[in-house]
Amino acid sequence: MDINVVAQLNSFLAAFVLLTAFGMLVQRRMYGLVHLFAWQGLFLSINTAIVGFVAGKHHLYISSLLTLSLKVFLLPYILHVLIQRLKVHKEVEVVENVPMTMLMGIALVIFSYYLMSPVTQLSTLVTRSTLAVALATVMIGLLMMITRKHAVTQIIGFLAMENGLFFAATSATYGMPLVVELGVALDILIAAFIFGIFFFHIHTTFDSLDVDQMARLKEED
């Protein structure tokens, strides 16, 4: 494949990853969120495979497959089942001030670009320009966890952050060593089981998954 075409495909997919991140930031419906998350995983997976192909790094194929199975199928499936079991699929979350959140997201993108520009200049890889997008995805995941008040949404924000980190590893260095990638995937899997258990605990204890209700532990004056 022509290196130029690859660079373009890469930035194209990066743009879509960013777009899905923004989509998740303002998506109200639970299933919509899960689907967006799955799409993001798919873009990442394709991107990883392309990068692996052009850079001749075969371990990236494994990462790509791992992403595909974990983040496109398994995690969305788990979330789907959880949402169904917890009967929150009809819940529409109140998202405060969407335009403001979007503007903050844009500010984060600019901030990431600013932060990453010295690093990008040092890099010689085809994928270097997407590093800023990767950081922006992490930051938007963080923003999502701050602005959203639903346990499921917060977890999706957390997973989106993880996606951004994976993306960062791919674009900065053609992926971390395989041992590390596998370990991170394992951690995410464990985390998935833990939050699954947690959802039920929260649901039975608080009768809702709104984390705003969990505000008993505060500093007393």
Partner 1 sequence: MKLYRFIIEILQIAILLGVAPAFTGWVRMLKCWSQGRTSAGIFQPYRDLLKLFSKDVLLADNASWIFRFTPYLVFGTAVLAGAIIPMLSLELPIASTADVIVLVALFAIARFFTALAGMDIGTAFGGMGSSREMTIASLAEPAMLMAIFTVSLASKSTSLSQMVHVIYSGQTVLRPSIVFALLAFVLIALAETGRIPVDNPATHLELTMIHEAMILEYSGRHLALIEWAGMMKLFLFVMLGVAAFAPWGIAESGDIVAISAAFIFMVLKLVIVGIVLVMIETGLAKMRIFRLTEFLGSAFLLATLGMLSYFILE
Partner 2 sequence: MLLVLLVVPLFAAVALAFVGDRKFAPEINIAGSAATFVAGAGLALQVYEQGPMLAGGKFFFVDAFNVYLAVLTSFVSMTTAIFSRRYMRREREHGRIGQIRIRFYHAMFQLFIFAMLLCLLTNNIGILWIAMELATLSTVLLVSLYRTPTAIEAAWKYFILCGVGISQALFGTVLLYFAAEKVLGEGGEALLWTNLRQVSGSLEPTVLSLAFVFLMVGYGTKVGLVPLHNWLPDAHSEGPTPISAVLSGLLLNVALYALVRCKVLVDGSTHSHHAGNIMMGFGLLSILVAAFSLLRQKDIKRMFSYSSIEHMGIATFAFGLGGPIATFGALLHMLVHSLAKSSIFFTVGHASQMHWTQEMDRIRGLFKGNPLVGWGLMFGVMAIAGMPPFGVFTSEFLILTATIKDAPLLTPFLLLGLGVAFAALFRRVQPMVSGEAPSYQKSMKVAHVPVILHMVLVLVIGIYMPAFLNNWFHTAVELLK
Contact residues: partner 1, CB under 8 A:
4-5, 8-9, 11-12, 14-16, 18-19, 22, 26, 98-99, 102, 105-106, 109-110, 113, 129-130, 132-133
Q: Could you tell me which residues are beta bridge partners of residue 183? A: none
In the complex with partner 1, which residue's Cβ is closer, 76 or 141? Answer: 141
Given a contact cutoff of 8 angstroms between Cβ atoms, the answer to whether 173 and 123 are in contact is no
Alpha-carbon gap, residue 150 to 22, rounded angstroms = 17
| Sign of the torsion angle spanned by Cα atoms 116, 157, 192, 53 | negative
32 binds, among partner 1, partner 2, none (CB under 5 to 8 A by kind): none
Give the residue among 160, 154, 170, 151 at the shortest CA–CA distance from 51: 170
Phi, psi (5° rounding) for residue 92? -110, 120
16 binds partner 2 (CB under 8 A): no
**Binder among 2, 87, 92, 219 for partner 2 (CB under 8 A):** 219
List the beta strands (DSSP E) in 115-175: none
122 binds partner 2 (CB under 8 A): yes
Given a contact cutoff of 8 angstroms between Cβ atoms, the answer to whether 137 and 17 are in contact is yes
Binding site for partner 2 (CB under 8 A): 57, 115, 118-119, 122-123, 135, 138, 142, 145, 151, 154, 158, 161-162, 165, 168-169, 172-174, 176-177, 179-180, 183-184, 186-187, 190-191, 194-195, 197-198, 201-202, 205-206, 211, 214-217, 219-221
